[in-house]
Structure 1
Amino acid sequence: MNNPSPPRLESAIRLALAPLLRAEGFVGSGRRFHQCVGPWIQIITVQGSRYGGSFAVNLGIHFASAPDLAGNPPDPKKMSEAHCEFRRRLSDSNADRWWKHEPDHASMLTAVESAASVYAHFGRRYFELACADLNAITPEALSSGTYDLQGFGTTKVRLGLALARIRKLQGRSDESREFAQYAVQHVGSATALESELRVLAAT
């Protein structure tokens, strides 16, 4: 006699989260979805706990023309949020959130429905506002800290490098130099970034 297959989180995602994401333009299946909005790649992945019984929803943003964090040309059809320059976990605050569930379909479905509701109320705005700020942030705003990336975390030096790269690709060379110059001045222990920053600061 065959034993029934154990319930899978992917089934709950297919029912409760995937339709919401596809209605917004995301494509994908299983636990990974992506879309391109203007120059930005947006990635969503569902990460199960290594111990079982819970999951988190990871969000990633990456500039479509810039190398990913592994130094490769970004491929939105294959990359995960771990390849993205800007990353955060979905929640209704700046804290990580893990959705707990029992090992049965009903509990998994309830948890994924809750995550989908949080995405609908918060996640889509995180993407929208962070991308808008990344497009608009100036070197002066970086220096003074007057910007809001909606919890997509990075250091100021790493952000300076990312924006220097992005502005150079956008043809905004003066801003690119200023971002790189700021990052060079504050590079501190991030010496692995210094060589590229000095090149960008001088071009």
Structure 2
Amino acid sequence: MDPAKHIDAVVASGLAPLLKSHGFAKAGRSFHRRHGDRWQVVNVQASSGNSAAQARFTLNLGLYIPEIEVLAGNAPLAGKPKEYECTLRERIGALMPQARDHWWTLAPDSDPALLAPELADAFAAHGLPWLEGYADLAKVAARLAEAPTILAAAAALAAGDREAAARRIEHMKADRPRATAVADAWAAKHLTA
């Protein structure tokens, strides 16, 4: 069995048509959809342990929000973002009812056409609502609230909550004392009246 061909066959029979119908364009094993200056990304990740005996894969989801990235001090991306470059990222398994990492498995005798509907259904039920659920910057900021990072503070500021941004900077300094200088410099630039 060629693991890559089996995975690609499952994606081509179920997920790809569904994503295309929702306006996503395919590039390799990733799919992108643009909303204004924001990007939604779906990436098919094959397991590094795939072999002729077994092929495993999962879905990674991402939202790239340049407004937050720029506020955080990151240069905006010129083209389509990779999933790992996204502002928010999630694996499909965390969104499914069992709320744990989920990998689909193919054996040499597996029929990719039988697994394709399950993959498409999982994305339609869990992945697409997650991607569409973060159209509001306040929801993005809420999702990043616990992270002691500049990105979390930038998300709060982008959502219009200056006080939350300041609290997140203080949280960052308390949780990561070595990052105090960076946190203070960001606050001086963005939070000083």
With the shorter chain as reference, the TM-score category is 0.7 to 0.9
Name 1:86's counterpart in structure 2: 88
Task: Provide the secondary structure at the position in 2 that maps to 1:126.
Answer: helix
Structure 1 residues 118 and 76, CA, compared in 2 at 3 Å: closer, same or farther?
Answer: farther
Name 1:51's counterpart in structure 2: 49
1:98 deviation in Å?
1.0
Task: Provide the secondary structure at the position in 1 that maps to 2:58.
Answer: strand
* Distance of 1:80 and 1:100 partners within structure 2: 24
Select the residue among 112, 132, 153 that pairs with 1:161.
153
Q: Could you tell me whether the CA contact under 8 Å between 1:59 and 1:88 is conserved in 2?
A: yes
Select the residue among 178, 197, 201 that pairs with 2:163.
178
1:72 deviation in Å?
3.6
- List, as ranges, runs of 4+ consecutive aligned residues in structure 1 with deviation greater than 4 Å: 4-7
* Distance of 2:73 and 2:109 partners within structure 1: 37
Task: Provide the secondary structure at the position in 1 that maps to 2:42.
Answer: strand
* Distance of 1:32 and 1:43 partners within structure 2: 7
> Comparing both chains, which one has the higher relative contact order based on Cα–Cα distances under 8 Å and sequence gaps of 6 or more?
2
Q: Could you tell me whether the CA contact under 8 Å between 1:58 and 1:90 is conserved in 2?
A: yes
1:125 aligns with 2:129: yes
Select the residue among 103, 116, 129 that pairs with 1:98.
103
TM-score (norm 1): 0.72
Structure 1 residues 21 and 126, CA, compared in 2 at 3 Å: closer, same or farther?
Answer: same
* Distance of 1:15 and 1:95 partners within structure 2: 25
Letter in 2 for 1:14: A
Runs of 5+ unmatched residues, structure 1: none
What is the percent sequence identity of the aligned residues?
25
Runs of 5+ unmatched residues, structure 2: none
1:115 deviation in Å?
1.6
Q: Could you tell me whether the CA contact under 8 Å between 1:32 and 1:44 is conserved in 2?
A: yes
* Distance of 1:59 and 1:185 partners within structure 2: 30
Q: Could you tell me whether the CA contact under 8 Å between 1:40 and 1:61 is conserved in 2?
A: yes
1:196 aligns with 2:181: no
1:21 aligns with 2:26: no
Task: Provide the secondary structure at the position in 2 that maps to 1:202.
Answer: coil
Deviation string for 1:140-170 (max 9, x for gaps)? xx7xxxx5x4xxx774333532314634xxx
Aligned residue-pair number: 178
* Distance of 2:116 and 2:48 partners within structure 1: 18
Q: Could you tell me whether the CA contact under 8 Å between 2:58 and 2:103 is conserved in 1?
A: yes
TM-score (norm 2): 0.75
